[in-house]
Amino acid sequence: MISRELARALRDGGLIWHPAEGDRFQLDLPDEVELEAEADVFTVSAMTIEARPATGGTNLAFNGTTEWALDAVAVADAVWLPREDQLRDLLRGTFRRLIRLEDAFQVEVEITGERLLFEHPDPSEAYGRALLELISRSR
C-alpha cells in the first residue's frame, strides 16, 4: 500500500478519484477536527461504506457497521490509497516493466521518449512515484 504522503501528493497533483467497490482510503479532515479514525484505513464496500452521489460531488456514507459515529464524509475529505494494479493501470502506455531487485522493486516508464526508473522496497510505492512524475509532467 502506498504511503499517505504519496497519496496526498498524487491527489494534490491532480489525480481524481471515482470511488469504487474495494477502494481503500483514509480520512483527511481539517486540522481543527480531532478524530482518531483519521489514521484508519477504510474500504469502500456496499455493506459498510458506500460512495453516494451528493450535491457538489460524492459522499462516502458509513452504514452504521463501523465502531464510531460518522454518517458520511465528502470524497474531498478522504485520501485514496490506490492498489498496485490501479497505479499500474493509471500509468497506461508509459509503463514498460517492473523489475525485482535484490532489496527493492524498480518501475520503468517512458515519458515523451525519456526512460525513467523509480525504485522502492514496496512495488506500490514505486508505481506511485512513477505516476506522480507522469502527472507532474502532464500539467
pLDDT score recorded for residue 47: 75
pLDDT score recorded for residue 25: 94
Full pLDDT tens readout for the chain, 139 residues = 899 999 999 999 999 999 999 999 998 876 555 555 557 898 998 777 888 888 888 988 887 655 455 677 889 889 999 999 999 999 999 999 999 999 999 999 999 999 999 999 999 999 999 999 999 999 7
Same domain, 95 and 120: yes
Spatial separation of the C-alpha atoms in residues 84 and 29, rounded to whole Å: 25
Residue found by looking up cell 477536527 in the block: 33
pLDDT score recorded for residue 72: 78
Q: Could you tell me the CA-to-CA distances from 129 to 52, 60, 80, 105, 111 in Å, in that order?
A: 30, 26, 15, 12, 13
Q: Domain limits at 62?
A: 4-80
Same domain, 91 and 134: yes
C-alpha cell at 88: 499500474
pLDDT score recorded for residue 52: 87
Same domain, 53 and 106: no
Count up the domains in the chain and report the number.
2
The pTM of this model reads 0.84
